[in-house]
């Protein structure tokens, strides 16, 4: 029985964005990462090839994280004491990207400062050749005070600077424009808010191929259903041709899942939750893969085992391209 | 595909005789389209129109119900590709596979722990749905023995997996009065399998590597009188499986009847638990009606069942609890009042923590329209005013002598305003995450 396979043909596509710059391109990275370019819903190879596979970023904290799950502390060991060593370990483990996350603290428990921040970024860039996403602690003034000097000190590297939110995007976008960097825009799980921020950022003159968006996600069991559907809706809008939704999406299953009780707590919990470390990894990988199916271009993870599993899944999902 | 009111109207007598109880045929047609009236209401519809309307009323994906001695697993009846368009209805049944070549104790153990497994997620008891028994031995008697043994420890619905109808019938002998799934029919054995399914009242799974193969087989089998069919797109990779499941769902929703059945996914992946878990996750998100896995490990089952719950909640309605003053561990007049919102995940995160630690407390749940603490705060639904209102509404002041009220740490900013709203209360700011509540209660509130 001949059956006609229904194929969607969409008028729009996702922007192609390249992160990082190599020596020839004015930077110092040994590799770059290109994401986006989709002309179909995720992995519908019978319609269009997936031009660039989703990539995995590993999160590295600029100062040893105080509140991470013991499962993560054990997995990374003393690596966590030095962001440069940690980033190197992520590269060795097969990460595509490093997300360098600054908190409110700098060295010796003092407040984070511009000098500290620039120094950590330089050390990390010396120890790994991967492209970088650099995120401030999420408080507008402090973010600006470290991201601007970081942008200046790394001109031409095509680092992704974030987070740009409605309240503080101006300074960060300006710093990115002046130094050939990219930005990450973040909005709280809402299609219209995401569009609005993208309009504001492009109005400043930042080209669309230098913006990645984080539509915000929740962890499995704690709001993933909202994030999942917002991503599906954003991707459908992009394919339908709405330019302000055609940005590649970055989401953070690592941050979200490792703060849930299921991943953080090992004692005094119901037997039905099962073995702790494996549960934590499952919590992270199931969330990540669900979001990849919903259209994520970059997933930011924390556990090395999650990296291995999600990478295998991505390889399988994009396999027919290489065959 | 459902017909519009106008399309239905064209099939009615158009005489406006009012016998159906509506003023016009058009009004009646509109009610039919909205599924608020039955076609029987009009005595004058032609047989031809009846058939056409009945056809359009059949759901695009047939509802298939597997029945065990105790319990059912339903799949099908879905009407959308994306959950935000409406909702997904029938949670895919999670089945654990055992092989009849495994040792009796191994099987027995897996089945006993699996069928008694139950985990609490925001007040709901999540469980697996049944077992798949694979006739790996190729021996009719052995399969019968294993199925009989299984039935001694579980009543959950079963799937019998094998390619030889004679062998499978041995297992079916032990499942009288049930509606198991036989898995399954392929191009080589479909006739005998269809006879077997028809004779035993079983649903039949069809195995095929392509859309054409599946559609062709389902048509032929349907002609033999078996209608409860399940499609198994038998491909190896996650991408091929995603593509086939999507194509089947799309075609079914376009009312292509040969593919209008639920699908089954086998995530069993020869010992690679990581891969198995992610294949099962994909199957849950992307359209499977039944998911079979090998590993029965709580640390895998729990997140899978939670994922299923999340993907299958109605996106229009956050799960809520009733705003009220809840008593945890029989609180007394000097125990603290903790405030939170009525989003069910929020409520249970807090209540479970305090209850589990054995600490008595009053838990004041405000009406925040089912939003989490921070969401509600950002949306202006959880503020000093609404908290003060709840304190009055639920008569909290009459229950305690020591007037201590504890705010979630994320909303510390509310404490000043709340002091103004509730002058005789001591406002305390708790930790940010519920996990840290017991420690805080023991140290700070004593
Ligand atoms: C899912 C979600 C949504 C869903 C709503 C889900 C729901 N039913 O609430 C949707 C998509 C609808 C949504 C909408 C919005 N959201 Co929202 N959302 C989230 C998200 C991702 C998760 C929230 C969640 O479910 N958490 C899980 C629950 C269990 O957490 P919780 O209620 O806080 O409870 C924990 C603690 O507070 C504590 N706790 C709870 N009660 C108590 C009590 C005591 C005494 C103590 C001690 C502790 C305690 O224990 C719990 C577990 O640890 C968060 C970001 C994030 N990752 O956290 C953003 C977030 C909350 N949203 C945000 C915003 C801004 C919004 C919107 C206003 C956006 C907009 N302008 O439209 C809207 C508001 C809704 C509206 N306009 O109607 C912001 C809030 C920013 C801020 N700090 O103010 C957040 C933080 C995202 C962000 N980073 O920007 N959101
Ligand atoms: S009973 Fe039938 S013919 Fe009469 S008004 Fe109703 S729909 Fe029309």
User: Omega of the bond prior to B366 within 30 degrees of 0, cis?
Assistant: no
Per-domain residue ranges of chain B = 5-57, 64-311, 324-443
Q: Is residue A323 part of a domain?
A: no
Does any ligand 1 atom lie closer than 6 A to the CB of residue B366?
Answer: no
Nearest to A45 among B243, B306, B315 (CB): B243
The pTM assigned to this predicted structure is 0.92
Q: Is residue A183 part of a domain?
A: yes
Closest CA to B246 of A39, A198, A312, A41: A41
DSSP E strand stretches across chain A = 16-19, 33-36, 55-61, 97-101, 132-135, 160-164, 182-186, 211-214, 250-251, 298-301
Q: What is the token pair recorded at A213?
A: 């968006």
- Percent of chain A at pLDDT > 90 equals 93
In DSSP notation, B280-297 reads: HHHHHHTTEEEEEES---
Chain A residues close to B216, C-beta within 8 Å: 1
Distance B376 CA to ligand 1 centre (A): 7
Q: Is residue A322 part of a domain?
A: no
Q: Do A293 and B84 touch (CB under 8 A)?
A: no
Strands B426-429 and B404-407: parallel
Residue numbers of chain A with a pLDDT score lower than 50: 321-323
Per-residue pLDDT at B2: 66
- Residue A237 belongs to domain spanning: 17-264+272-317
Which residue's entry shows tokens 């047609």?
B29
Q: What is the three-class DSSP state of A40?
A: coil
Give CA A254 to chain center in angstroms.
Answer: 10
Nearest CA to ligand 2 atom 7: B25
Strands A16-19 and B426-429: unpaired
Q: Is residue A53 part of a domain?
A: yes
Query: Following CA atoms A98, A101, A105, A108 in sequence, which dihedral angle do they give, to the nearest 10 degrees?
Result: -10
CA-CA distance, A163 to A256, in Å (whole number)?
16
Which residue's entry shows tokens 């201590």?
B404
Q: What is the three-class DSSP state of B239?
A: helix
Distance B250 CA to ligand 1 centre (A): 34
The answer to whether the beta carbons of residues B285 and A260 sit under 8 Å apart is no
Fold held by B324-443: Rossmann fold (3.40.50)
* Mean pLDDT in residue range B137-142: 97
Residues 6+ apart with CB under 8 A from B97: B131, B132, B133, B134, B161, B266, B268, B292, B293, B294
CA–CA distance from B224 to each of A2, A201, B161, B238 (Å)? 21, 62, 21, 33
Q: Write the burial class of residue B164 (CB in 10 Å: 0-12 exposed, 13-18 middle, 19+ buried).
A: middle
Q: What is the token pair recorded at A175?
A: 């710093």
Of residues B318 and B275, the one with the higher pLDDT is B275
Per-residue pLDDT at B272: 87
User: Hey, how many other C-beta atoms are within 10 angstroms of the C-beta on B378?
Assistant: 12
Q: What is the token pair recorded at B78?
A: 């879905």
CATH match of B64-311 with 2.30.130.30:
no
Per-residue pLDDT at A320: 67
Q: Is residue A46 part of a domain?
A: yes
- Tell me the shortest Cα–Cα distance from B206 to chain A, in angstroms: 15
* pLDDT surpasses 90 at B271: no
How many residue pairs from chains A and B have C-beta atoms closer than 8 A?
158
Residue B285: φ, ψ to 5°: -70, -40
The answer to whether the beta carbons of residues A287 and A224 sit under 8 Å apart is yes
Q: Which residue of B has its CA nearest to A3?
A: B212
Q: Tell me the pLDDT tens digit for each residue of B224-248.
A: 999 999 999 999 899 999 999 999 9
Chain A residues close to B274, C-beta within 8 Å: 285, 305, 308-309, 312
Q: What is the token pair recorded at A96?
A: 């595509």
Number of domains in chain A: 1
Chain A residues close to B254, C-beta within 8 Å: 6
Q: Tell me the pLDDT tens digit for each residue of B340-397.
A: 999 999 999 999 999 989 999 999 999 999 999 999 999 999 999 999 999 999 999 9
Q: What is the token pair recorded at B237?
A: 């990779």
Does any ligand 2 atom lie closer than 6 A to the CB of residue B15?
Answer: yes
Q: Which residue of B has its CA nearest to A287?
A: B307
Q: Do B307 and A290 touch (CB under 8 A)?
A: yes
- Tell me the shortest Cα–Cα distance from B214 to chain A, in angstroms: 9
Q: What is the three-class DSSP state of B227?
A: coil
Nearest to A43 among B239, B254, B298 (CB): B239
Residues within 8 A of B (CB atoms), A 83-122 only: none
State chain A's mean pLDDT as an integer: 95
Q: Is residue A1 part of a domain?
A: no
Considering the four listed CATH numbers 1.10.15.40, 1.25.40.10, 3.40.50.150, 3.40.570.10, the one that applies to the domain covering B5-57 is 1.10.15.40
The half-sphere exposure of A45 on its side-chain side, counting CA atoms within 13 A, is: 18
Nearest CA to ligand 2 atom 4: B17
CATH number at residue A181: 3.20.20.20
Q: Tell me the pLDDT tens digit for each residue of B10-23.
A: 999 999 999 999 99
In this predicted complex, what is the ipTM?
Answer: 0.94
Nearest CA to ligand 2 atom 8: B25
CA–CA distance from B441 to each of B310, B338, B350, B437 (Å)? 31, 10, 12, 6
Per-residue pLDDT at A322: 40
* Mean pLDDT in residue range B71-94: 95
């Amino acid at each position: 029985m001949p059956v006609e396979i229904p194929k969607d043909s969409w008028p729009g596509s996702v922007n192609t964005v390249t992160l990082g710059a190599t020596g020839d391109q004015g930077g110092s990275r040994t590799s770059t990462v290109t994401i986006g370019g989709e002309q179909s819903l995720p992995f519908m190879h019978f319609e269009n090839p997936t031009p660039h596979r989703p990539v995995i970023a590993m999160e590295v904290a600029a100062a040893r994280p105080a509140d991470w799950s013991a499962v993560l502390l054990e997995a990374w060991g003393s690596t966590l004491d030095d962001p440069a060593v940690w980033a190197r370990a992520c590269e060795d483990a097969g990460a595509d990207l490093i997300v360098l996350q600054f908190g409110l603290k700098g060295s010796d428990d003092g407040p984070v400062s511009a000098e500290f921040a620039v120094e950590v970024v330089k050390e990390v860039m010396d120890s790994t050749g991967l492209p970088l996403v650099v995120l401030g602690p999420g408080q507008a003034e402090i973010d600006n005070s470290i991201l601007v000097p970081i942008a200046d000190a790394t001109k031409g590297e095509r680092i992704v600077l974030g987070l740009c939110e409605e309240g503080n995007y101006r300074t960060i976008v300006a710093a990115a424009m002046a130094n050939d960097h990219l930005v990450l825009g973040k909005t709280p799980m809402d299609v219209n808010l995401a569009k609005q921020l993208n309009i504001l950022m492009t109005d400043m003159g930042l080209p669309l191929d230098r913006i990645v968006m984080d539509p915000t996600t929740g962890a499995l069991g704690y709001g993933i259903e909202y994030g999942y559907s917002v991503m599906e809706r954003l991707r459908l809008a992009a394919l339908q041709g709405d330019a302000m939704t055609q940005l590649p999406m970055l989401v953070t299953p690592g941050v979200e899942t490792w703060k849930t009780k299921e991943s953080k707590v090992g004692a005094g919990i119901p037997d039905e939750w099962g073995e702790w470390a494996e549960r934590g990894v499952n919590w992270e990988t199931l969330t990540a893969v669900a979001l990849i199916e919903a259209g994520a271009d970059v997933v930011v993870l924390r556990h090395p085992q999650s990296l291995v599993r999600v990478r295998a899944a991505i390889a399988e999902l994009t396999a027919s391209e290489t065959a | 595909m459902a017909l519009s009111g106008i399309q239905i109207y064209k099939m009615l007598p158009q005489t406006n005789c009012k016998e159906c109880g509506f003023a016009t045929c058009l009004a009646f047609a509109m009610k039919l389209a909205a599924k608020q009236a039955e076609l029987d209401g009009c005595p004058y519809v032609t047989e031809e129109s009846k058939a056409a309307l009945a056809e359009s009323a059949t759901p695009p994906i047939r509802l298939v119900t597997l029945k065990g001695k105790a319990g059912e697993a339903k799949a099908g009846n879905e009407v959308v590709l994306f959950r935000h368009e409406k909702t997904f209805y029938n949670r895919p049944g999670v089945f654990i596979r055992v092989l009849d070549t495994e040792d009796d104790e191994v099987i027995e153990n897996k089945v006993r722990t699996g069928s008694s497994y139950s985990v609490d997620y925001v007040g709901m008891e999540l469980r697996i749905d049944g077992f798949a028994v694979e006739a790996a031995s190729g021996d009719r008697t052995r399969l019968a023995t294993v199925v009989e043994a299984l039935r001694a420890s579980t009543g959950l619905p079963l799937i019998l997996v094998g390619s030889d109808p004679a062998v499978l019938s041995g297992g079916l002998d032990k499942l009288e009065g049930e509606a198991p799934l036989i898995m399954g029919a392929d191009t080589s054995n479909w006739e005998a399998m269809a006879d077997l399914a028809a004779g035993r009242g079983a649903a039949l799974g069809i195995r095929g590597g392509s859309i054409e193969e599946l559609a062709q087989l389902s048509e032929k089998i349907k002609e033999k009188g078996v209608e409860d069919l399940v499609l198994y797109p038998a491909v190896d990779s996650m991408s091929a499986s995603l593509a086939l499941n999507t194509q089947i769902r799309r075609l079914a929703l376009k009312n292509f009847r040969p593919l209008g059945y639920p699908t089954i996914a086998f995530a069993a992946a020869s010992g690679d638990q990581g891969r198995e878990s992610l294949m099962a996750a994909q199957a849950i998100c992307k359209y499977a009606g039944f998911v079979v896995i090998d590993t029965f490990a709580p640390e895998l089952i729990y997140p899978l069942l939670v994922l299923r719950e999340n993907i299958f909640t109605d996106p229009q309605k956050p799960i809520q609890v009733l705003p009220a003053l809840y008593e945890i561990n029989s609180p007394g007049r000097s125990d603290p009042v903790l405030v939170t919102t009525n989003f069910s995940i929020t409520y249970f995160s807090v209540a479970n923590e305090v209850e589990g630690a054995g600490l008595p407390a009053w838990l004041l749940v405000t009406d925040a329209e089912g939003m989490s603490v921070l969401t509600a705060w950002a949306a202006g639904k959880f503020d000093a005013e609404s908290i003060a209102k709840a304190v009055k509404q639920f008569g909290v002041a009459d229950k305690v002598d020591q007037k201590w009220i504890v705010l979630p740490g994320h909303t510390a900013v509310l404490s000043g305003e709340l002091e103004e709203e509730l002058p005789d209360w001591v406002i305390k700011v708790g930790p940010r995450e519920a996990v840290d509540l017991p420690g805080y209660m023991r140290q700070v509130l004593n």
